[in-house]
């Protein structure tokens, strides 16, 4: 479970995230949508510990991020919108590095690598330098790295960008499979259709504040019964 209470983050004069409250339950696929500069990536970066909140509290799996950042980081996996991956090592070496960091034993590590590499059709390229990978392949290797230790909470920033339709489908299936096992998936997207079809609940953020949160039906009933998510989004973020 992810809990944010009164979280604030400012950059100079600008409040990027403004008194944000949010709860994401276990086993939930949660979509986080908002226009550019609304505060999505800043919120995500605070949850994963890249940025420190100015005030407020962040808990993951009941653990306070400020008190036990490593405990939180062990539970989560994060893939940024434009993942930086070491280019002068091979795909295997990169995945092994992550396996080492998360303390995976050899057997489960090899099984995970084989499984996800096959799912994303990248087995043939694992022995090559990452510098030779296309953008989509780099996105795939970053996703495999994130899934490797079967995280309790998977946090993805624009995960579909750069993926071919088949890989996007695979990722969606893996997200569903994860939440069936009680894991939480929190992701940001600009693709309304993905949010509508995949997410159990959705939050819309604008100017650092949550302007709508709930299931698709709850949001529709509150704002526009016969409207699509896209229409509601456009109205709320005008």
Partner 1 sequence: MRNLWNLIKKDLLLEFSFILNPAASLKDPKTRKRSLLYLLTLAIFGGYLIYFINYLLGLVDIFKAQGLGELFLLLGLVTYTSMIIFLGVSQVLSKLYFSDDISMLLPLPVSAADILGSKLISITVNSLLFALITVVPISIKYGGDWFFYLSAILGAVAATLLTISLIAMIEIVLMRFFNRLPNLKSLLQIVSMFMVIIFVLGFQWLMKLGQEMNITPESLPQFIEELSGKIYLLLPQVKLWMIALTESALWERLGALLLLLASALIIWQLVSRLGSKLFIKGLADNRVIAVRKHMFQRKTPGVRPVFLDIALKEIAEILKTPIYFFNIASIGVLIPILLMFPILINEGGDNFLSDINGLYGALEFSLGNNIGVGLLIGLLGSIFFGVTSQSAVSSITREGKRLWLVQTLPVKVKDQVNGRLVASYVFQTVGILPSALILWLLLSPPLEMVVAFFLGVGITAWMTSNLGLLIDILRPKLNWDDPEEAIKQNMNIFLFVMGSFGYLGLIIFSLVKLFENKLIEYSSLLGIGLVILVLHALLGVIGYILSRRLFKKRLNKFN
Where on the chain is the footprint of partner 1 (CB under 8 A)? Answer: 11-14, 48-52, 70, 73-74, 76, 78, 83-90, 93, 97-98, 100-103, 127-129, 131-132
**27 or 69, CB closer to partner 1?**
69
Is the Cα dihedral 84, 87, 88, 89 positive or negative?
positive
- Give least dist CB 67 to partner 1, A: 14
Taking CA 116 as the corner, what is the angle to CA 112 and CA 117, rounded to the nearest 5 degrees? 110
- Give least dist CB 136 to partner 1, A: 15
**85 or 191, CB closer to partner 1?**
85
- Give least dist CB 145 to partner 1, A: 10
Cβ partners under 8 Å of residue 200, min gap 6: 28, 29, 30, 179, 215
Nearest to 132 by CA among 91, 75, 166: 91
**70 or 217, CB closer to partner 1?**
70
- Give least dist CB 203 to partner 1, A: 21
- Give least dist CB 86 to partner 1, A: 6
Are 6 and 21 spatial neighbours (Cβ–Cβ below 8 Å)? yes
- Give least dist CB 223 to partner 1, A: 32
**91 or 236, CB closer to partner 1?**
91
User: How many distinct helices (H) and strands (E) make up the chain?
Assistant: 9, 10
**70 or 225, CB closer to partner 1?**
70
**6 or 132, CB closer to partner 1?**
132
Q: Which two tokens stand for residue 13?
A: 């004069």
Are 164 and 196 spatial neighbours (Cβ–Cβ below 8 Å)? no
β-partners of residue 137 are none
Nearest to 205 by CA among 227, 236, 160: 236
How do beta strands 184-188 and 153-157 pair? parallel
- Give least dist CB 63 to partner 1, A: 12
**93 or 237, CB closer to partner 1?**
93
Instruction: Please give the C-alpha separations between residue 59 and each of 77, 86, 150, 193, 229, in angstroms, as whole numbers.
Output: 15, 30, 19, 29, 29
């Amino acid at each position: 479970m992810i809990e944010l209470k009164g979280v604030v983050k400012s950059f100079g004069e600008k409040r990027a995230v403004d008194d944000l409250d949010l709860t994401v339950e276990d086993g939930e696929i949660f979509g986080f949508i908002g226009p550019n500069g609304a505060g999505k990536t800043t919120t995500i970066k605070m949850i994963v510990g890249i940025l420190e909140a100015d005030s407020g509290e962040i808990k993951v799996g009941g653990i306070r991020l400020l008190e036990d950042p490593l405990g939180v980081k062990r539970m989560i996996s994060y893939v940024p919108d434009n993942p930086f991956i070491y280019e002068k090592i091979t795909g295997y070496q990169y995945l092994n590095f992550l396996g080492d960091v998360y303390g995976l034993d050899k057997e489960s590590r090899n099984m995970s690598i084989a499984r996800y590499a096959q799912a994303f059709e990248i087995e043939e390229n694992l022995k090559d330098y990452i510098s030779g990978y296309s953008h989509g392949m780099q996105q795939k290797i970053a996703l495999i790295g994130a899934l490797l230790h079967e995280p309790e909470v998977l946090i993805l920033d624009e995960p579909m960008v750069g993926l071919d339709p088949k890989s996007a489908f695979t990722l969606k299936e893996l997200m569903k499979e994860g939440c069936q096992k009680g894991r939480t998936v929190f992701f940001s997207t600009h693709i309304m259709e993905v949010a509508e079809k995949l997410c159990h609940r959705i939050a819309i953020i604008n100017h650092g504040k949550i302007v709508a949160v709930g299931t698709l039906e709850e949001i529709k009933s509150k704002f526009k019964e016969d409207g699509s998510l896209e229409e509601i989004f456009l109205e709320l973020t005008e």
